[in-house]
Amino acid sequence: MPDWSKEIHAAIARLKMDPAREAELVEELSQHLTDRYNELRCNGEDDAGACRLLEAELNDSNLVAELSRLLSTSPETAAPGLDRRERLFAGLGNDLRQSVRLLRLNPGFAALAILSLALGIGANTAIFELIDAVVMRTLPVPSPQQLADIQEIRGTRIGSTVARQEEFSFAIWEQLRQQKKAFSGIAAWSTERFDMGQGGEARYAEGMWVSGSFFQVLQVQPVLGRLIAQSDDYRGCGIRGAVISDAFWQRKFGGRGNVIGSKLSLDGHPFEIIGVTPPSFFGLEVGRSFDVALPLCTEPAIHREGAWTAHSTTWWLAAIGRLNQGWTFKRASAELAAIAPGIYSATLPAEYDAAARKDYLRYSLTAQPAATGDSPLRKQYADPLWMLLSISGLVLLIACANLANLMLARASARQREMALRLTLGASRLRLIRQLLAESLLLALSGATIGIALAQVLGSLLTAYIGNVTDPIFLPLYPDLRVLSFTFGVALLTCVLFGVAPAVQAANADPGTVMKTAGRGLTAGRQRFLLRRGLIVSQVALSLVLLVAALLFVQTFRNLLALDAGFRQENVLVADFDFSALNVPAANRLEYKRELLQKVKNIPGVISASETSIVPLSGDGWNEFIDIPSASISRKLVYFDAASEGYFQTLQTPMLAGRDFSENDTPASPPVAIVNQQFARSLLGQANPIGMTFGVKQPGGKPEKLYRIVGLVGNTKYRDLREDLTPIIFVAEYQIADPGTDSTFLIRSNEAPSALIASLKDATAKSSPAVVLNFSVLRTSILERLTRERLMATLSGFYGILAAVLAIVGIYGIISYMVVRRRNEIGVRIALGADKVNILGMILGEAVVLLVIGLVAGTGLAAAAGNAARAMLFGLAPFDPLTLALAAGGLTIIAVAASTIPAVRAVAVDPMQVLREE
């Protein structure tokens, strides 16, 4: 008896198996060969012959090859019906290649699918990019997480705000800058526009006021020259150097290397350029950028007698600090709260009365994270952007439902192929994976094109939000967060529209599919259920989007149509800055009157007046007043100053008394005109003419008494959405210390461009050094409605898109059901059913789906309306009329879309159907 173990061992030695395993294998194979030898010998084979046969078997190269494969991988043989274990991603490359082939065979379907995904994903990505830029992105400075915004915790603010930043006065800043415990450095900053021209229409540069520590705290390094340092910022520094941004350097100086030392005129003063900031640095305001930065100490030299640094009640600075190592925001806030009483008592404004002082001394300080910078844009647009992201997400869901229906149809057409593959040994997981590969390919293609589309859409959105007078600077690019979002959305859409059809196709019973011809109802019932479910969800989501669109459109329409109390059209706002003329203070009122008269004399001007606060500009001025006769003390009321003709220019009705006149001078008793809301809410009577009120004066001077000489209709003051508020108008030309600028409201039927040209000509001839700036009142007001316009436009667009997608879906499924039930319809007609019955049967299907979808959508629409409550105006979040309008519209177009396949069903020839049976 030969010993086979040695031969076996020799044959498999090169496999280098585990010794124990090898021993077992040798033992087992050895026994088999021994049994075979005995069998061969019993069958008459001689020893040599038997050994030869068995050696040949043993030395079959397949043995080692098969064992080698077994040890390293687990290759599969094609066993019929074998449901094999699959490694999850094995063969994924083949699946993707196969998917590419299949999609190339169906270019129409592929194009439609990829395009709808690209639009859906692109729209979502564009809005997410905006959210990323406005809300999430940190400042492009080292360690932004260490930056803290120092904020005031306060009651009512008394004084004036002159910049976008309005946290601190200069006096408070001088106290703050001395604090070194919590912060390794603190800086102050503010913003202002500077005129680069020398008279005539202004050419503005966006400016930043910065303390000497600003660039050091932010750890910004110059790309050219140097940046403003502590040594540049000292009291009385006068006109010093200016730092410019990289964008300004490129735009104005062509990026030339010898810009350091060049002169730049700002508000008529020559500044020497000392440095350029890096391209990534845009300041601290997200959504804006700056052109020039000047040290704080220069401010008095520019504003002179109106210097902000000199007034303890001018709030114009923001402060930012870099936390010391080991300090948290909570700890820093506690430290600031501890030192706040000292700071406020050291900076108490002298002109405050007792109540104001008590209030001021209760103010405190806190430190909040500032990694994402400051942003009025964020406050205004964060909520609308999240709402828009939700809306575009819903549209993508609807598009996915449509795609899912398309994929179901394709899977249905490939049933036999799937059944045969299952029978021949493919596992269900493998089939699902192959179908999902197709969905993944579509989703990734859509996402790739979507990212490109998103850049275009993002730029359009940014341009839409900004405007000429208030441009937005918001660099949009697909950073890691945006890319993760996009591809996450792509994977989600793949799952949403790919999984159900793939699982359904792979779960088909091969035997049943092979037996049936795919006709009749029974085979497709489950698939119909899924498709019906998809249609119902599409209808529900479309209703939500249509309702949202109608709510936002109505909000915008309500705001546009709102009576602001004055006529907005045909009014030009013209700012005249005559500081360059050095008109003595005593002569300024006279100069202003003459200037107004010149404006009135320009041909085409119907009326003109001067004002301190342009209505709905966002500017404000308030004071505490006392009305002894009405027992009112220290009531905070909004103020404005206006010349004669103001109410005539704005066409605000004069209800009682008189307008201001030439006789209202600084020497005559102070007079005021009040609005209806003032009379009703404070005086409790319709006619306040002759009544008086007092306004506290600074520096301990006696209260200034005003007599009410006129009553006008209510007007909106700062914002269209605000409630009506009491307003006091004082005479512009009774103001004792007029400034060196005048703002005129000019009503004319001339086109604004023509009027502006006339104004410029008139001023150029007499006072070429006067700086002019123009805006159209109605345009400015509309620009403040940009947010509402954005919501109305985009939600309207998405609502229509959603409705179109839902209608395409309904049309698709009704058509599909008509095709599948063609035989049944033919048989029914043959058995006597009339066309109306058939039509009713088909349309009935559509109506049932529609009704279920509308009912489901109503609840969702109510929830969505509630979520958007704060953004609506003039209507309730759940408005039955709006809902009825949306549902009615959806019903009409759904029935219309279903009629086409229903008419096709009625046209079925029963004889042809029966022949085919």
Partner 1 sequence: MRVKLFNRELKKGSAELLILSLIEHRPRHGYEISKLIEQRSEGALKFNVASFYPLLYRLEKRGFISGRWVEKAGQRRRRYYQLTAQGKTVLKEQRSSWAEFVNAIDRITGGEHA
Give helix then strand counts, H and E, for the chain. Answer: 28, 24
**Neighbouring-strand partners of residue 571:** 747
Tokens 């703050």 belong to which residue?
A: 176
**Neighbouring-strand partners of residue 153:** 364
Q: Which segments of 586-621 are extended strands (E)?
A: 605-611
| Residues found in the chain | 917
Distances (CA, A) of 32 to 25, 72, 184: 11, 25, 84
Contacting residues toward partner 1, per CB under 8 A: 24-25, 27-29, 31-33, 35-36, 39, 54, 57-58, 60, 62-63, 66-67, 69-70, 74, 77-83, 85, 422-425, 510-511, 514
Is residue 117 a contact partner of residue 109, using CB atoms and an 8 Å limit? no
Handedness of CA 430, 432, 435, 441 (dihedral sign): negative
Is residue 102 a contact partner of residue 434, using CB atoms and an 8 Å limit? no
User: Which residue from 614, 629, 662, 676 is spatially nearest to 469, judged by alpha carbons?
Assistant: 614
Pinpoint the alpha helices (H) of 348-414. 354-360, 376-413
How is residue 27 written in tokens?
Answer: 């033992």
How is residue 757 written in tokens?
Answer: 């040209």
Is residue 818 a contact partner of residue 881, using CB atoms and an 8 Å limit? no
One-letter identity of residue 440: L
Distance of closest approach, residue 72 Cβ to partner 1, in angstroms: 12
- Using CA atoms of 731, 736, 742, 746 in order, give the dihedral in degrees to the nearest 10: 20
Dihedral pair phi/psi, residue 738, rounded to 5°: -65, 150
DSSP labels, 536-592 = HHHHHHHHHHHHHHHHHHHHHHHHHH---SS--TTEEEEEEE-GGGT--GGGHHHHH
The pairing of beta strand 671-675 with beta strand 727-731:
antiparallel
> What does the alpha-carbon distance between residue 239 and residue 226 come to, in Å, rounded to a whole number?
17
Specify the DSSP class assigned to residue 298: G
Is residue 824 a contact partner of residue 892, using CB atoms and an 8 Å limit? no
Specify the DSSP class assigned to residue 324: P
Is residue 463 a contact partner of residue 130, using CB atoms and an 8 Å limit? no
**Neighbouring-strand partners of residue 447:** none
- Using CA atoms of 383, 387, 390, 391 in order, give the dihedral in degrees to the nearest 10: -160
For 471, residues 6+ apart whose C-beta sits below 8 A from its C-beta are none
How far, in whole angstroms, is CA 184 from its chain's centroid? 34
Buried b (16+ CB within 10 A) or exposed e, 497-511: bbbbbbbbbbebebe
Dihedral pair phi/psi, residue 314, rounded to 5°: -105, 115
Q: Quick check: helix, strand or coil at residue 697?
A: coil
Q: Which segments of 714-868 are extended strands (E)?
A: 727-731, 741-748, 771-776
Specify the DSSP class assigned to residue 734: G
How far, in whole angstroms, is CA 355 from its chain's centroid? 43
How is residue 247 written in tokens?
Answer: 């964008």
Distance of closest approach, residue 516 Cβ to partner 1, in angstroms: 12
> What does the alpha-carbon distance between residue 150 and residue 774 come to, in Å, rounded to a whole number?
36
> What does the alpha-carbon distance between residue 242 and residue 263 come to, in Å, rounded to a whole number?
9
The neighbour count for residue 94, using CB atoms within 10 Å, is 11
Pinpoint the alpha helices (H) of 132-245. 170-176, 214-218
